[in-house]
Structure 1
Amino acid sequence: MTPSAIEALFTRADGQYLFARWGRPIVPVVFGVDEATLALVKGAVEAVVTLAGHRMAETDPELGANLMVFFFRDWAELPEVPNLDRLVEGLGPLCARLAAAEANQYRIFRFDAAGAIRAAFVFIRMDAHLEAVPAEALALSQAAQVMLLWSDRAFTESSPLAMAGETLVLRPEIGAVIRAGYDPVLPAMADQPSHAYRLAARIAPEI
């Protein structure tokens, strides 16, 4: 993972470099799935949190739950969720745009005064493509993508996952970036590309 490769993971389509990690323990809640899938999603989040050296908690003192994951089949369902429009401004028009684009997933982040992630909303529309993805893969992929504020283009060409024999795992380089991103010496938010060099310096001995 060269500095330029890492920089690309956090450089958005508009050319802005923007990195952020969670600044508080993560408290996930999952809607629209059965108990087995719920356990998979929470287990995947816990695994990535452990990899990062971060923490989970039973409740967030401000929000109760700060990572909300919604599974559904039609974008029109989301505006009908009670009080969700209070948490996500412009929810109706957003869902209309996503439906028109035939999107099957979307993530929204909220930040604290220091720029660290304070909450995230993950919307997953189970279309034919995602229906074909094993639940374990979907859960681990979403957990990885919500752990840092990746570029909107970071995983458009390749998945954050790989096979290790018959086991599905995070790609080693992606796991290394997540772990490096949570180094307490580094800032919780960075908007200068030079930050990628600091991440690379922490990854070089690992992979």
Structure 2
Amino acid sequence: MALFTRADGQFLFARWGRPLVPVVFGVEDATVSILKGAIEAVVALAGHKMAETDPELGANLMIFFLRDWAELTQTPNLDRLIPDLPETVARLERADANQYRAFRFDAEGGIKAAFVFVRMDAALAEAPAETIALSQIVQTILLWSDTAFLGTSPLAVLSDGGPAILKPEIAGLIRAAYDPVLPVAATDPSHALRLAARVGRAQ
């Protein structure tokens, strides 16, 4: 399945192996509520769980909103979370990127932490907060391919200026991915067939 096959041809699938504990930086309280509402909705869709605290990390889903990538190098202790932080910032600046996600994994290969960075450029500034929130959590609930959503979006917009909704096929895939019978991580492409079979049965 292309959504989990990386640009180098490697198949790599992972879902969260523990409850999500989110924390949001750089936005007003009203926007924090929108973000947490989107996280709760997608976690419920997956049949997964949230918690008040992670016993190992405290918070395991950190979402940062910023206006310039250079802010990352000025954030205390962030270099402990993001290896090679100066090089990463330089690469994001060269690419004129507006988002970046970094994941950490447990011994079984499941996601144990994610760090999400959103640079509010002109394009994102025009998008509804609900759309940004939903897009970020959908792209963080699973380890998608690095090319999964290039040129396309996991969301669909029903009306001009209105908030987006999750595409049904992506929603079905998220539900299938969290089937407790399936492993939290896989590198064998046959895993895609198991996912497809579950999506097919649900339709």
- TM-score, normalised via structure 2 length: 0.96
Query: Hey, what does 1:26 align to over in structure 2?
Result: 20
Superposed displacement of residue 204, structure 1: 0.6
CA drift at 1:206: 2.5
State the secondary structure of the residue aligned to 1:38: helix
Residues of 2 paired with 1:22 and 1:154: CA distance? 18
Distance in 2 of aligned mates of 1:12 and 1:135? 29
- 1:51 to partner: Cα distance: 0.2
Secondary structure, aligned partner of 2:171: helix
Q: Say how many residue pairs are matched.
A: 201
Question: Is this contact kept in 1: 2:128–2:163, CA < 8 A?
Answer: no
State the distance in 2 between where 1:18 and 1:187 align.
12
Whichever residue aligns with residue 107 of structure 2, its letter is: A
**2: CA distance between counterparts of 1:181 and 1:174?**
10
Number of the residue aligned with 2:73: 79
**2:131 paired with 1:137:** yes
Q: Which residue of 2 aligns with 1:4?
A: none
Paired position in structure 1 for 2:4: 10
What letter matches 1:138 in structure 2? I
1:167 shift after superposition: 6.0
- Cα shift at 1:205: 2.4
Q: Percent identity?
A: 66
- Mapped to 2, the partners of 1:21 and 1:183 lie a distance apart of 10
In 2, distance between residues paired with 1:76 and 1:34? Answer: 21
Q: What is the rounded CA distance, in whole Å, between the counterparts of 1:104 and 1:40 in structure 2?
A: 20
Aligned match of 1:162 in 156, 166, 174?
156
- The gaps in structure 1 that reach 5 residues or longer are 1-6
Match of 1:42 in 2: 36
Give how far 1:164 is off: 5.2
SS in 2 for 1:205: helix
Q: Deviations over 1:93-151 (max 9, x none)?
A: 11111111111101000000100000000010011111111111010010100000001
Could you tell me how far 1:90 is from its partner in structure 2?
1.0
- Secondary structure of the residue aligned to 2:202 is coil
Letter of the 1:106 counterpart: Y
1:112 aligned partner: 106
Q: Which residue pairs with 1:190 in the alignment?
A: 186
Structure 2 unaligned spans of 5+: none
Task: Report how far residue 163 of structure 1 moved.
Answer: 3.7
State the partner residue of 1:3.
none
Q: How many Å separate the matches in 2 of 1:153 and 1:97?
A: 17
- Preserved contact between residue 131 and residue 163 of structure 2 (Cα < 8 Å): no
Deviations 1:74-109 (A, max 9, x none): 000011111111111111211111111111101000
SS of residue matched to 2:49 = coil
The DSSP-based 3-state class of the residue aligned with 1:113 is coil
